[in-house]
Structure 1
Amino acid sequence: MNNSKMLGVESCGKLLLKFSVPAVIGMTANALYDFIDRLFLSKAIGILGISAATVVRPMLITVMAFSLLIGVGTSVTISLKLGQNDKSQAEKAIGNAMLLAVAVSLLLILLGLLFKEQLLSLFGAKDEILPLARQFFIISLFGIPFQTLAHILIGACRAEGNPKLSMLTMLSSALLNFILNPAFIFILKLGIAGSALATLCSQGIVSIWLLLYFAGKNSVLRLSFKAVFPDTAILIQILSIGMASFLAQLVSSATMVILNKSLYSYGGNYAVASLGIIQALMMLVLLPVIGINQGMQPILGYNYGAGNYQRVKKTVGLALLSGTYITTIGFIILMLFQTQLFSLFAGKSQELVKAGAFGMRLFLLVLPLSSLQKIEYFEAIGSAKISIFLSLAKQLLFQIPLLFILPYFYKLKGVWLTGAVSDFFSCLLSAVFLIAALYKLKNKSRLPIKKTYVFENEA
């Protein structure tokens, strides 16, 4: 059976397992990027290295915003087109995404180089952190094309029904980063520049690998010059679907700037470094849930496009249950072993351990509920408006206003609490919209099963 055919006929549980396990493994490997970077930086440079990488993070989040804009839009478009038995349009989605990625990457590099000092100042890089942040920033800029291409092509692998290759790609990238990080930092003595260079090289290698795959004969979808030719309808669909993730990441970048500055004002470098470590640990829990979401997307997109609404509902339920299990177990581990985990980064600095443990207890208070935000039903079915609203709600409606209110009353404790309080209200909002949307599917009829078979005349 063709890989994409099984999306409409195989058991939803088996499909979610088949697509999500590789994605979870891959995303866990991806989470190791931040963890590895901060671990080696803490050993080589100490608290200043972690702080420098943390203040540059808004730029990295902004780059990720553009990667998600194109990558998520492409992945969902491919799934919907395959569900509608339109292979040529699915191939056009890959080609047009590649064209868009190159143009956006070049523009971001140019703007970053022209305004690097202003941006670093905006991010909060000052005093002894500034020279380190500048090095990390400049090298990271040149990794933008590779990061964007890798994100697009990994999503395309899953969408065409090849989650194992997606997993192997992310595992390979994480392994390369793990090998190159200490080699560049300690052996070549490149310091923080070595950390950024290791990430650039890792993503560059896997991007080339994926390009060769889609240009070859083993993929369901083929990358060709014809597919790269601009198609306005495809570009609009990609951008509209990916817009929710894009805007959410941009707002997240702005939130990160305000958060960094608030932490520095009330807690200094120890608070900023603590945030960097907390985020690295938090992503070890959340990225597997995002992996489940990524595994769910082609199943949802295909079946929604084919009209199999009962399968859509069942898949969403299984994804939410699995995600909540992961976040709950992760939360328990982080809370029980917070001192030991921070000691990995802090060395002999008990001040950093104390500051980090205090911050993590407050910042991650409602982590078990996070799958309600990360399992993105509306994005998977191409419902752009609702997806955009829910993606922006956490920061715009809750966290940014709270960053100006809670610290006024509770100082540093108030800054840390903004994470938990905003998460609680945004999870509640997401639950209300999701329950209403799934209820509406009750009255929608299921299309004949034959419409879920794709490429039926192919060998």
Structure 2
Amino acid sequence: MNQLENSQFLGTEKISKLMLKFSIPCVLSLLVSALYNIVDQIFIGNSELSALGNAATGVVFPIFIIAQAFAWCFGDGCAAYLNICQGRKDAKSAHKAIGTGILITVFASLILILIFFPLKVQILTLFGASDNSIGMAVEYFNIILIFFPIYMLSNMMNAVIRADGSPAWSMASMLFGAIINIILDPVFIFGMHWGMTGVALATVIGQCISFVISLVYFFRTKTFKLTKESFALDIKTFSHALKLGTSSFITQMTIVIISLVCNIMLAKYGAMSHYGVDIPIAIIGIESKVFTVVINLVVGIVLGCQPIIGYNIGAKNYARVKKLYKSILMCTIIIGVISTLLFELVPQAVVGIFGNPTNIPNPEDYWVFAEKTFRIFLSLVTFTCIIKMTSIFFQAVGKPAQAVISSMIRDIVCFIPLILILPMFLGIEGILFAAPIADFIAMIVAASLTVSFLKSLDMDYAEEKREAVLKPSRQGIIITIAREHGSSGKQIGKLVAQKLGIPFYYKEMTALAAQESGLDREFISEINANSPAMLHSLYLSTEVIQQAIVAQDKVIHKIADNGSCVIVGRAADYVLRDYKNIVRIFIYAPEEYRTERVMEVYGDSIREAKRNINRSDEARAAYYKNISGKLWGERQNYDFLLDSSIGIEKCVDAICGYIASCC
């Protein structure tokens, strides 16, 4: 039974059953990852370390995220590149990228140690440490920092393990690490009385366990084999993987920026209030850990449903997509409403899990601020959950622009400006009100985008269905045409196909790739036609990118195997590099000719034409470099280069004449 037949149940099985099967492992995995930070805070809060200890871990948390950002960038990039190489059966590039990724991760961790260690007091103070908590923060941070290489390697390797088709192994490595952390925390804190040193040791030992389990997988996997050659630094190969991980890096660094701004403002306005600095920092640290549990439940559900969404989008089963969306939305609302009730009705009970404050001057202020934080800051947590769900849903259906807007409108466009402005008028309470206001604005935008998308599913896709078919052909020659924007390459290719009596493929490839991958046709069309940044758009998951590229690769091979044809674009000359009956053509023209051509065809002004030419060519070059590692338009990559300014008909005759001479 092939992969397609194996996945057909995604379009027929009961949705609730599919959601349970796919989402529960994902939810558990994300909850386990949240345990590392939450367990520490619970034991700290219930020990003599109390509120100041929680404040200390709160200021170190953003630095954890910085390390994680680099690890996920390298790991997700290598993971996506591994899948692409598997699709191409290019094992050599895969193990080189992973080996180099491991080396770069170690190098990056050492650089971070060299930067953070001498500047630790200044950095921790910047992140909100006070005179009361700085000693604990440094004690904790010193040990955590030493084990950065282990922590980052574990995160990097886990991403590769998941991509290699072993999510259970990845989850096991995190789970066993978390269990060890949970066991050692009370031993070191209450039994040995090691304070923040004990907390840090419990954490890093758990990380070491996770690392060892991940390392074992790398020695047993049969998909890729790491040898000494794998660890020969290959920057060229790794650069392709790095591009695919950029989105993960930017996502994590956004969290760092938000945490940094939030902590700075809390420290500033806390010092100006009767709460002081430590209470707000400690409470917001607890809030972030509790919120992580809530949001991970939602993220786990929708991430788990991504394969189901993608399959049914690809199968044009839009009624089922809508039904699935409603089911995910209902789960999200239930989680959000239950969380809101807890935060509004019993905030002290939630915060009480993290202990009583025994080492701060005014414990009553601690509880007052805790109530305010949970009742105000998290008052619209249901909206926050829906916004996050919407962003991931748009990723799953191949709508990167909507995914970015849904997420960025809340965190960057609204929250950060509000957190800077509102305290000027409302004091420290202004920071708390920034979150629900940002949630409300972002919810309106997310709802509008969702309604618009769901309505668009009812449109007539007859044209797409007509295009998504292989055309009858015969064995012979395969002609690939790459071209500069405005050089009339597409028109020339179509005329060549007509003259030779063979099929022509351009937009038809997009429809076929959409059918193959289950992604949105518009998204696939724009991967190398919109901007070079499209391949690593801010919140576009690397899995979606890899899925689209692999789908196009498969479609191009199917077209070529079907017989003689003309294929325009999509790096087809490189994809089909192993075919013997291929003629690779590159069509170019002087800038003046192309500018006039674009003005004539699209009605652009001179300025618009030149700008669009540059953008389009940069996008094509970036896509080609990402796919092949080669420079787009270089002479040695093609069999026949042609200046189209000699005239379209002459170009057609020249190409047909060249083909005749080859045959």
If the length of structure 2 is used for normalisation, what is the TM-score?
0.59
Distance 2:228 2:376 in 1: 52
CA contact (8 A) 1:406 1:418 kept: yes
CA contact (8 A) 1:184 1:198 kept: yes
The residue identity in structure 1 corresponding to 2:429 is K
CA contact (8 A) 1:79 1:159 kept: yes
The residue identity in structure 2 corresponding to 1:340 is A
| Partner residue of 1:98 out of 95, 99, 102 | 102
| 1:354-387 CA-partner distances (Å, limit 9, x unpaired) | 3212111111122223243255356668987876
2:435 aligned residue: 419
Q: Select the structure of larger CA radius of gyration.
A: 2
Distance 1:227 1:337, change over 3 A: farther
2:71 aligned residue: 67
1:272 aligned residue: 281
Q: How many residues align?
A: 446
Give how far 1:129 is off. 0.9
Structure 1: which 5+ runs fail to align? 455-459
Pair 1:131 & 2:131 matched? no
CA contact (8 A) 1:19 1:158 kept: no
SS in 2 for 1:345: coil
Within 5 A, what are the aligned runs for 1:20-419?
Answer: 20-44=23-47, 45-79=49-83, 84=87, 86=89, 88=91, 94-217=98-221, 220-229=223-232, 235-264=238-267, 265-266=269-270, 267-268=275-276, 269-292=278-301, 294-296=303-305, 308=314, 310=316, 314=321, 317=325, 322-347=331-356, 349-369=363-383, 370-373=385-388, 375-376=391-392, 392-419=408-435
Give how far 1:428 is off. 4.4
Distance 2:396 2:238 in 1: 17
The residue identity in structure 2 corresponding to 1:216 is R
| Range with greater deviation from structure 2 (408-417 or 330-339) | 330-339
| Range with greater deviation from structure 2 (245-254 or 7-16) | 7-16
| 1:43-87 CA-partner distances (Å, limit 9, x unpaired) | 2211111111112222122222223322333444445555x4646
Distance 1:214 1:160 in 2: 10
Distance 2:254 2:516 in 1: 42
SS in 2 for 1:189: coil
Give how far 1:334 is off. 3.6
| 1:292-328 CA-partner distances (Å, limit 9, x unpaired) | 4554567778x69xx9464899498365554444334
Structure having greater relative contact order (Cα 8 Å, sep ≥ 6): 1
Distance 1:434 1:139, change over 3 A: farther
Distance 2:8 2:88 in 1: 15
SS in 2 for 1:243: helix
The residue identity in structure 2 corresponding to 1:361 is R
Distance 1:96 1:131 in 2: 38
Distance 1:50 1:131 in 2: 13
2:635 aligned residue: none
Distance 1:19 1:398, change over 3 A: same
Distance 1:233 1:377 in 2: 33
The residue identity in structure 1 corresponding to 2:387 is L
The residue identity in structure 2 corresponding to 1:425 is I
Distance 2:133 2:32 in 1: 28
CA contact (8 A) 2:45 2:53 kept: yes
Distance 1:104 1:7 in 2: 41
Bigger helix fraction? 1
The residue identity in structure 1 corresponding to 2:379 is L
| Range with greater deviation from structure 2 (25-34 or 274-283) | 25-34
Structure 2: which 5+ runs fail to align? 358-362, 465-510, 518-549, 555-663
Distance 1:51 1:80, change over 3 A: same
Give how far 1:24 is off. 0.9
The residue identity in structure 2 corresponding to 1:366 is L
SS in 1 for 2:130: coil
| Range with greater deviation from structure 2 (199-208 or 266-275) | 266-275
SS in 2 for 1:408: helix
Distance 2:124 2:418 in 1: 24
Distance 1:291 1:170 in 2: 15
Distance 1:94 1:212 in 2: 15
| Range with greater deviation from structure 2 (430-439 or 264-273) | 430-439
Distance 1:228 1:289, change over 3 A: farther
1:447 aligned residue: 515
2:587 aligned residue: none
The residue identity in structure 1 corresponding to 2:371 is A
The residue identity in structure 2 corresponding to 1:262 is M
Distance 1:74 1:368, change over 3 A: farther
If the length of structure 1 is used for normalisation, what is the TM-score?
0.82
Give how far 1:176 is off. 1.0
Distance 2:94 2:20 in 1: 24
Give how far 1:124 is off. 2.3
1:11 aligned residue: 10
